């Protein structure tokens, strides 16, 4: 690319459908496909996930920490419907550019945890 002033758009548009049941889960592009802010709860830890094998792992870890008495593991959980493409919303992509679940945001710092 020779134009050094190119700035990618905040929201990408993908017009080519691949069909099939799982076409909305993975896309051959990077970035958000639509604007959508993430919900925010009262706890510093914000978990955005789904009850898939990988999605459950973080929930189990946080629940085990809470059962062991570690109050720093209190969290708010939100469902990300990957079949509807919610992982490609601008808010989710901001905390996880790979658009994969789970995503855990620790608002007590300025860093994304997972």
Give me the phi and psi of 71, to 5 degrees please: -70, -15
Indicate whether 111 pLDDT > 60: no
Q: What is the total count of domains within the chain? A: 1
Over the stretch 12-63, which tens digit does the pLDDT of each residue have?
766 655 566 666 666 666 788 899 999 999 999 999 999 999 989 999 999 9
User: What integer is the mean pLDDT of 104-114?
Assistant: 74
3-state secondary structure of 99: coil
Residue 71 covered by a domain: yes
Residue 69 covered by a domain: yes
Enclosing H/E stretch for 92: helix 90-95
Alpha-carbon Rg for the chain in angstroms: 16
Joined tokens for residue 79: 């469902």
State the residue range of the domain holding 79: 45-106
Residue 20 covered by a domain: no
Enclosing H/E stretch for 53: helix 53-67
User: Secondary structure of 69-80 in the HEC alphabet?
Assistant: CCHHHCEEEEEC
- Compute the residue count for the chain: 114
3-state secondary structure of 104: strand
Q: CATH no. for residue 101? A: 3.40.30.10
Residue 53 covered by a domain: yes
For residue 102, which of 40, 60, 43 has the smallest C-alpha distance?
60
Residue 21 covered by a domain: no
- The pLDDT score that the predictor gives to residue 28 is 62
Residue 38 covered by a domain: no
| Residue 105: strand pairing partners | 46, 112
Query: Is the torsion defined by CA of 86, 90, 91, 94 positive or negative?
Result: positive
Over the stretch 71-98, which tens digit does the pLDDT of each residue have?
999 999 999 998 888 999 999 999 999 8
Residue 102 covered by a domain: yes
Residue 17 covered by a domain: no
Is the pTM value of this prediction over 0.75? no
């Amino acid at each position: 690319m020779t134009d050094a002033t190119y700035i990618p758009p905040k929201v990408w548009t993908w017009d080519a459908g691949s069909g099939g049941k799982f076409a909305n889960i993975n896309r051959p592009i990077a970035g958000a496909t639509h604007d959508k802010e993430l919900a925010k709860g009262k706890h510093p830890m914000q978990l955005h996930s789904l009850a898939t094998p990988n999605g459950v792992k973080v929930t189990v870890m946080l629940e085990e920490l809470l059962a062991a008495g570690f109050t720093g593991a209190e969290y708010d959980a939100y469902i990300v419907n990957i079949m509807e493409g919610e992982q490609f919303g601008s808010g989710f992509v901001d905390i996880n550019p790979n658009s994969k679940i789970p995503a855990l945001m620790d608002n007590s710092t300025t860093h994304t945890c997972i």
